Chains A and B, each alone.
Chain A
């Protein structure tokens, strides 16, 4: 469908018209398509006769989930709705838009709707629409970008209709789930939405700033369907304050500024549409704008132009030993913490790598995407060479991501480029091919050229490519190090691509690697490097980048630099850099500082460990533990000091001397002491004895997991290994994990009466599958009696009780 730079007029509200005609208390207005087709057809006709060029079917809530309350099926309702619209348009040229609203559930991780389920609901709707030959698919009133993406992809993949996608914004300029207009545009243009815009929730006056932001950013036609003012709700009526003339005035501005498709939402009537159709002469086609390059999540975008972009590399189990055991058990929770700390240290984009031998990389990637959704706002880079994983990641991710990577091999390009194109992703392109990594810069440029030209055949523009000219190690191929820099320089001068490097390879096999890394980083930046993949917490990296941004005029007026290295900080920085100049590692100086502190500490009387833990005093806990470790064997420190302290704290909790937050604080602080014990055991080359492995899960259907998290914190403080399966956990998942890790004790939590039923089912299934597995349960509605009636082995009334259960269980076994 070509819009041909003409203004297109949609109809107004259906609900408002139904109310005006006396249908006020209808729970499922879509049923009227069948129960009262004449009424619906009449409303469509009125809109057409008042100038609407497109009428919208009465199918806003016609999805299988919402219609589970209905006496009719989705198919019956949508078919009837389209028939009504067809009957109304008869001999006119009016087009029919299949209306699709939100499913009525909330996406993960807040709700339980996942992308694939959402997709299936929408797919059913659009296929019926396609078979009945609708002209347009209108997806509207969406506030969750993930749900919107599922709908757009369903429409794109199953029909040839143009897809119009409009979302609903709050007055603050974000949707209910925190997406702003620009992030909406980036994500939806990437997957091929034909028209993007805004509808509902606000009147035209309040929408104006939002519409302007959309017009400034979008490169597809823009659509607006405003309410007739802000709604005022009295007990049974909804009223809107803006009259048709005033509505027209606001729309004149919209159209003047470039809005292409207009119509009305709640509160608008044929009178309003009549007024809108008078604006046809006002419309001036907008100028096609060129936007900068952005990667985005549903809540944040990062510009890749005019600055150096930092990608955090730490969510990678092969480079991060602490992450590995968790990923092996399918537990992605530690990745959230790691994401957060990298962002705090300056990472703007996060690299996600889930490849581990014997692990379902695909599933793990999907879990991380689900888990991060809405919690971690940094855009992601998916680090995999497996095209299946790439496809899964890009399909489920609510934004514009980077895939890492493609290379100059024909097979790689044929696999990766179609996927990247489909989801509008950026691609890291490595300059090696079937013949390996070329020695000379010229050869690497040749491969880059091949990559750029092949990408173009897939309709991927240069801007979407991030060329990695590859770093070789200075210790092995010293002469090759410079070649990389020359390649960067040439490529940047010739093509409109971005460049990236994983800098730290350069120093492999040499001492003081950090010095080489940051020096090489500075050199590469000067040669035109745009994006660095690093551990942002690595010493010197952040400083080098700050300095570079000043010297390259990116950090204008040195604002960020001054903020970080203001006068009061200067002295500290200088003394540190002097220390480094003398060749003293900062780590050592930290160590000597600590031992000085330690000496001072030894002079004064120490706090008993349990007091440090109770106070949540991290420094003191560290010092006391260190002192204990100098005096005793590590295992003795655990059993005679740590556990005893925790027991004492537990006793105080039971006697109501302290309360739950204090108990949890102590448990979390004990983690620091455990960390030190582990370190010193590592030095002695012995592992900490595993006291026992326990699976924790909040049962299917239940999403209250605060209690379970407290149990986890407390059990961990006692040295138990916890496999945390999270919340809303399917029975099969529990069974599978018990089997895979040979676990003997499982803790289940459920908060509501409805979900205790699922708890009972899980227990039955566990007992059926494993003779020797014991289950303890907890949750607010449970009592000892109730717990026993659903065949649990133990009932934990609180987190402390769970520890007692575990202690008893593992002592006996």
Chain B
């Protein structure tokens, strides 16, 4: 299930990894795949109100604050919010590997990053299957992207019962714990988003964006590039 090409990208290789690293990626992938089971939950919300700088969801009420998320969802009538985690086992494995060798820790971390993406894709596919004909999904948008702050995650996790159902929580700084986890919002619209560009916030370029210093998406994108 691990996509080794992606892992190589996370590790910074523009083409492929050197032989020794490749062998290590392969063996760690096997080990992690066999002991990690990702989990996810999702829930749909209606959009009650949308302005240029916030989106109000209903049942239950959650307000998503920020120009970037408002722009991202501007053509949508409802959203799905999903939460996905590899669980404590992944964090434990990464920590243990890091203790034994920084290199193994680095590679285990990259593998887990790829695995969590794969589970996100699975979850998104399930959501897509529930859509009515003529509707499509926007790309994923996560707290931390643009000016969409991390704080909203506490309400989102409570609404999804994420702790009880998949063991996902936050720490005092609103970081998802276990670490290898994703919370994301996908909008539902009757527009076709297939040709969407990589800048999910709708900006043409990070260079013109006032949030580019701190944008989590920009960070993820840079790593994957």
Q: Which residues of A contact B (CB under 8 A)?
A: 24-28, 66, 69, 101-102, 104-106, 109-112, 141, 143, 176-178, 233-236, 333, 336-337, 340, 374-375, 615-616, 656, 658-662, 664-665, 667-668, 700-706, 709-710, 712-713, 728, 752-756, 758, 780-781, 783, 785-786
Question: Which of A69, A102, A112 gathers the greatest number of chain B CB atoms within 10 Å?
Answer: A112
Known: A104-B163, A616-B20, A703-B171. 7 other contacts (CB 8 A): A28-B158, A66-B158, A111-B171, A178-B92, A375-B92, A701-B175, A756-B214
Q: A69-B158, A235-B42 are in contact. Are A701 and B105 (CB under 8 A)?
A: no
Contact B214 A713 (CB under 8 A): no
Chain B, interface size: which category?
35 or more
Contact B60 A752 (CB under 8 A): no
Closest 6 CB pairs of A and B: A701-B173, A713-B102, A25-B59, A25-B60, A336-B99, A754-B173
Q: A110-B177, A235-B130, A754-B174 are in contact. Are A659 and B12 (CB under 8 A)?
A: yes
CB distance from A626 to the nearest CB of B (A): 23
Contact A706 B106 (CB under 8 A): yes
Contact A374 B88 (CB under 8 A): yes
Give the distance in Å from the alpha carbon of A478 to the alpha carbon of B74 in the complex: 88
Q: Mark B102-144, 1 if CB is under 8 A from A, else 0.
A: 1101110100000000000000000100100000000000001
Residues of chain B with a CB closer than 8 A to A109's CB: 95
Q: A110-B91, A336-B99, A754-B175 are in contact. Are A664 and B12 (CB under 8 A)?
A: no
Contact A709 B158 (CB under 8 A): no
Residues of chain B with a CB closer than 8 A to A110's CB: 88, 91-92, 95, 177-179
Contact B213 A781 (CB under 8 A): yes
Q: A110-B177, A112-B177, A752-B144 are in contact. Are A705 and B98 (CB under 8 A)?
A: yes
Contact B94 A176 (CB under 8 A): no
Contact A660 B223 (CB under 8 A): no
B210 adjacent to chain A (CB < 8 Å): no
Contact B150 A752 (CB under 8 A): yes
Give the distance in Å from the alpha carbon of A783 to the alpha carbon of B80 in the complex: 33
Residues of chain B with a CB closer than 8 A to A781's CB: 213-214, 216, 219
Contact B171 A112 (CB under 8 A): yes
**Can you list 28 A-B pairs with a CB-CB distance of less than 8 A?**
A25-B159, A27-B158, A69-B154, A105-B169, A105-B171, A110-B92, A143-B167, A176-B88, A234-B130, A235-B127, A236-B43, A336-B96, A337-B100, A375-B96, A661-B103, A661-B107, A665-B21, A665-B103, A667-B102, A702-B175, A704-B175, A705-B98, A752-B173, A753-B144, A754-B173, A780-B219, A781-B219, A785-B213
CB distance from B124 to the nearest CB of A (A): 13
Q: A337-B100, A374-B92, A701-B172 are in contact. Are A658 and B18 (CB under 8 A)?
A: yes
Residues of chain A with a CB closer than 8 A to B174's CB: 752, 754
CB distance from A156 to the nearest CB of B (A): 25
Give the distance in Å from the alpha carbon of A111 to the alpha carbon of B171 in the complex: 7
B11 adjacent to chain A (CB < 8 Å): yes
Q: A781-B214, A785-B213 are in contact. Are A102 and B173 (CB under 8 A)?
A: no
Residues of chain B with a CB closer than 8 A to A783's CB: 213
Q: Which residues of B contact A (CB under 8 A)?
A: 11-14, 17-18, 20-21, 24, 41-44, 59-60, 80, 87-89, 91-92, 94-96, 98-103, 105-107, 109, 127, 130, 144, 150, 154-155, 158-159, 163-165, 167, 169-175, 177-179, 213-214, 216, 219, 223
Residues of chain B with a CB closer than 8 A to A374's CB: 88, 92
Residues of chain A with a CB closer than 8 A to B155's CB: 27, 69
Contact B106 A375 (CB under 8 A): no
Contact B167 A753 (CB under 8 A): no
Q: A27-B155, A106-B88 are in contact. Are A333 and B99 (CB under 8 A)?
A: yes
Give the distance in Å from the alpha carbon of A214 to the alpha carbon of B89 in the complex: 23
Q: A112-B171, A337-B100, A661-B17 are in contact. Are A706 and B94 (CB under 8 A)?
A: yes
Residues of chain B with a CB closer than 8 A to A710's CB: 102, 106
Q: A143-B167, A236-B44 are in contact. Are A752 and B106 (CB under 8 A)?
A: no
Give the distance in Å from the alpha carbon of A66 to the alpha carbon of B88 in the complex: 20
Give the distance in Å from the alpha carbon of A141 to the alpha carbon of B161 in the complex: 13
Contact B214 A753 (CB under 8 A): yes
Contact partner of A659 (CB less than 8 A), chosen from B13, B95, B100, B223, is: B13
Residues of chain A with a CB closer than 8 A to B167's CB: 106, 143, 176
Give the distance in Å from the alpha carbon of A783 to the alpha carbon of B109 in the complex: 22
Contact A755 B175 (CB under 8 A): yes
Residues of chain A with a CB closer than 8 A to B12's CB: 659-660
Residues of chain A with a CB closer than 8 A to B163's CB: 102, 104
Residues of chain B with a CB closer than 8 A to A235's CB: 42-44, 80, 127, 130
Q: A26-B60, A374-B92, A752-B144 are in contact. Are A668 and B103 (CB under 8 A)?
A: yes
Give the distance in Å from the alpha carbon of A706 to the alpha carbon of B167 in the complex: 22
Give the distance in Å from the alpha carbon of A66 to the alpha carbon of B163 in the complex: 11
